[in-house]
Amino acid sequence: MGRSAMSEMTTFRWSFDQDIEHFAAAGYSAVGVWRQKLSDYGEEKGVELIAEHGLEVSSLCWAGGFTGSEGWSHEEAISDARQAIELAAAARAHCLVVHSGARGLHTQNHVRRLLHQAIDALLPVAESLHVTLALEPMHPAAGAKWTFLNDLDDALHFSEFYRSKYLRLVLDCYDWGRAEVIHDRLAQLVPQLALVQLADGKDAPCGDRNRCPLGTGTVPLARLVPQLIEAGYAGPFEVELLGEEIESSDYKQLLKDSLRQLNGWMHSKSRKTVPSRAGAERLGAE
């Protein structure tokens, strides 16, 4: 799997074919595919276009909403996720990003049951098609409307429960990269990671998810990326930038600058030794 990936979320104004053309020209090895853009372009010809440009698919985003927060019934969300798994298999995607859905007015026990029921139904399908389901936990201040998995420990324990290599996690550095304890927990976290998303931000995570170009914010990516590699993470690093500053930026320059930063971090050495799993502390939201 190629390590340098760009998400189509970043280039919101571009169409699917523009994304593929410019990502490949900029030197990325993979694309994080946004289902809406792919659907608008045409799924079958979109998959062919990706292959023609020599790109891999780092992720397909997204499926889920099993708690009803997206306006779907539980069964409708599961049916949509099955279709997404089949599309991920056709695109040979490294993973399918999964959002549980918000807690809403449900109890915590109820939303967990809904997610377990969904994974119980979907994981056999994913395993048969060799598609990795990647649950994405989000910081509660930034992602509560998308998922009730707002604590890394909780998400980690949920994924470990199934003991399947086809159920893993997404680590979004915008949400979790500032948490100091994460640097002491990578030995435990890395084996469960399907995808690392890279983003920077000048302020702590918030509802607007206003991100900024890599290296211009306060997320310690120059430290975290080498540590992830030293801890054994071998998957793609997918740049996912959202917000007002990104939407108004020069996309071509943003692609160039992001890849330069990423390549520099991937080839630098960690400033801190990653400790053993035994030395881990709680990975809650801070």
Q: Which domains does the chain have, with CATH numbers?
A: 4-274 (3.20.20.150)
DSSP character at residue 2: -
Q: Which two tokens stand for residue 8?
A: 């189509």
Tokens 């302020």 — which residue? 203
CB 174 within 8 A of CB 199: yes
What's the confidence (pLDDT) of residue 271?
52
pLDDT in tens, 125-143: 999 999 999 999 999 998 9
pLDDT surpasses 90 at 252: yes
CB 32 within 8 A of CB 240: yes
CB 240 within 8 A of CB 250: no
Strands 56-64 and 133-135: unpaired
Strands 237-239 and 193-198: parallel
What's the confidence (pLDDT) of residue 69?
85
Give how far the C-alpha of residue 221 lies from the chain's centroid of Cα atoms, to the nearest Å. 16
pLDDT in tens, 175-192: 999 988 788 889 999 999
Q: What's the rounded mean pLDDT across residues 197-222? A: 92
What's the confidence (pLDDT) of residue 168?
98
Give SS3 for 197: strand
Distance CA 16, CA 8 (A): 8
DSSP character at residue 54: T
Q: Which two tokens stand for residue 229?
A: 């590699």
pLDDT in tens, 36-82: 999 999 999 999 999 999 999 999 999 999 999 888 999 999 999 99
